[in-house]
Amino acid sequence: MNIVYRTHPGEGQKPRPPWYSKWNCLANLLRVFGPEHQYHFMVDCADNDYLLQLKSMANAVGIEPVFNNFQSVNNANAFRIALDYACTLDGLLYLCEDDYLHRPGAARVLDEGVRGVDRTVGYATCYDHPDKYLPRAFTRLHLGGCCHWREVRSTTGTFAVMAEMLREDRDIWERYSTDECGWARDHAAFMEITERRMLLSSVPAYSTHCESAFLAPLVDWAEVNCQ
């Protein structure tokens, strides 16, 4: 798997759990996925100290990432730079933002979700978003070898997909990540993509976005953070 990890030293205004930090999320990513994958660090607007910390943490667990340093205009531009880079790769891709925690087994789960639940190849996420449990949020559920899979219409900018499919959908992603957008409109992009593609979300979650109001349910993420 090619893990395209997009990071930026700053923090926005999102309410975060008390245990959250980007460094915790990175340590967790490196630990859960391990050195058998190729890491591509897309580093936006970072100084030398930030770059050295990224390299030190990766090297400490036997990982030598490929670094891609750039200065973006905004979030949308940063996403588009990562998209352009990801489209040059092959095989299974995991585009990952820097504020996610993962449970052990996440790599195997993503591989299953992308490569063939019910023989359908598509996009996959191991983030079980709480908004999928709103009233009237009906969906199909698939039984996989690792977990159950829920068909969903959208997810965040952290997802897995085969490189060939991402290249086929590149024009859609670009349309929703122009500089004028300001930030990458992942929901809108997926709403168009899932008109013809399947997007699967694992149940229970094997990852969560670390935003207080939107932690994936039924998992003690504070404990995952400490593992």
Confidence label for 12 from pLDDT (cuts 50, 70 and 90): confident
Q: How many CB atoms lie within 10 A of CB 174?
A: 15
**What domains are there in the chain, each with its CATH number?**
2-226 (3.90.550.10)
Confidence label for 167 from pLDDT (cuts 50, 70 and 90): very high
% of the chain exceeding 70 in pLDDT: 98
User: Is residue 137's pLDDT more than 90?
Assistant: no
**What average pLDDT does this structure show over 41-57?**
96
Confidence label for 83 from pLDDT (cuts 50, 70 and 90): very high
pLDDT of residue 183: 87
d(CA 101, CA 20) in angstroms, rounded, equals 9
d(CA 27, CA 78) in angstroms, rounded, equals 22
pTM greater than the 0.75 cutoff: yes
Please give the backbone phi and psi of residue 69, each rounded to the nearest 5 degrees, phi first: -100, 135
Which runs of E-coded beta strand occur in the chain? 2-7, 38-44, 66-70, 92-97, 100-102, 123-125, 141-143, 148-151, 159-162, 199-203, 207-209
Confidence label for 56 from pLDDT (cuts 50, 70 and 90): very high
CA angle 147, 199, 165 (to 5 degrees): 120
The encoded tokens of residue 191 equal 């709403």
**What average pLDDT does this structure show over 163-189?**
95
User: Is residue 17's pLDDT more than 90?
Assistant: yes
**What average pLDDT does this structure show over 71-78?**
93
Confidence label for 118 from pLDDT (cuts 50, 70 and 90): low
pLDDT of residue 119: 62
% of the chain exceeding 90 in pLDDT: 85
Residue 43's DSSP bridge partners are 7, 69
pLDDT of residue 93: 98
pLDDT of residue 51: 97
